[in-house]
Amino acid sequence: MKQTNKTNFERVCEALKKLKWDVWEKAVKNEPEWKETEPLLERYGPNRFLVFMVMAGLNDYQLKGVAEIKYWPLLVRNLMDKSDISNKPSDFIGLLKSFYANERLYENKLKRLEKFLNSELALKLWQTPLKEIARNLDKIWYELAETMKPKSTSINNYCNRKTIVFAMKCLAISLLMFEIRDFEFNIPIPVDSRIKKITSKWGLLPENSSEKDIQQIWQAVLENLKKTYPYINMVHLDSFLWQRANTE
């Protein structure tokens, strides 16, 4: 891990430890991936919803504006206007194609749409009980990276790509929405402009630090927080930081 300011690291950890547990839980529930997608819970049911959330997470990049305004609410509205899907993940392709066709980098997003929804992993998520999915998040993370990576790309590098780890965060949020909380979540923080901003502003790392270094410093913070909150995971930390960065 890149050298960080030890005093700032300890200061950040101690400040975060003072937060009450309900602050962490509220941060997750206030994420656009949670509050904007709730209308789809009953419409799709558990497994269909999980598949949708992973797909939406994979294409949450290079947006037309901030995700909480220009992506999640519009995506859900698009689906609420459509008829129900039937019996397989690829049914989502037709429902989502018109939405992504109007997005930035639409050709790449349409390819990702088809690649994931036609995959064995999507079918597995469609058919597997949620508690079993929760027990195998590390394996699913690897399978997702393997499914989505270009042929010439190393799986070890691709696992930590922002869209992959963010899609895994969306999967974990989905489990929480269905009140499944007993799972290990070892996926690193998704590094976007807000996380870069708050990492630098809080004095943990220089502004030009690499994505890997940023992921490692927040992993170290998380391990420190676990001494106070044994059930905290990266979903809680990322949700809190992402929202806090918008107010800094």
* Residue type at 155 in one-letter notation: I
| pLDDT, mean of residues 21-48 | 96
Helices 46-58 and 91-100, packing angle to 10 deg: 40
24 and 92 part of one domain: no
pLDDT of 229 reads 94
Higher per-residue pLDDT: 105 or 84 = 105
Percentage of the chain beyond pLDDT 70 is: 98
Domain final residue pick, 182, 213, 231: 182
112 and 203 part of one domain: no
203 and 83 part of one domain: no
Average pLDDT over all residues of the chain: 94
Does residue 48 contact residue 126 with C-beta atoms inside 8 Å? Answer: yes
What confidence tier does 1 reach under pLDDT thresholds 50, 70, 90? very low
Domain holding 105, by residue range, is: 33-182
Domain final residue pick, 139, 164, 182: 182
Q: CATH number of the domain that 85 lies in?
A: 1.10.340.30
Render pLDDT for 168-207 as a digit per residue (tens, 0 to 9): 999 999 999 999 988 999 999 999 999 999 999 999 999 8
16 and 44 part of one domain: no
Listed residue (83, 87, 28, 76) closest to 52, CA to CA: 76
Residue 165 has pLDDT above 70, yes or no: yes
Domain final residue pick, 127, 151, 182: 182
113 and 227 part of one domain: no
- Count how many domains the chain has: 2
Q: CA–CA separation, 42 vs 76, rounded Å?
A: 13
90 and 174 part of one domain: yes
Render pLDDT for 39-75 as a digit per residue (tens, 0 to 9): 999 889 999 999 999 999 999 999 999 999 999 999 9
Residue 151 has pLDDT above 50, yes or no: yes
87 and 208 part of one domain: no
What confidence tier does 85 reach under pLDDT thresholds 50, 70, 90? confident
169 and 49 part of one domain: yes
Render pLDDT for 88-99 as a digit per residue (tens, 0 to 9): 999 999 999 999
Residues 6+ apart with CB under 8 A from 243: 27, 30, 31
159 and 208 part of one domain: no
| pLDDT, mean of residues 143-161 | 92
What confidence tier does 84 reach under pLDDT thresholds 50, 70, 90? confident
Residue 102 has pLDDT above 70, yes or no: yes
5 and 116 part of one domain: no
73 and 145 part of one domain: yes
138 and 38 part of one domain: yes
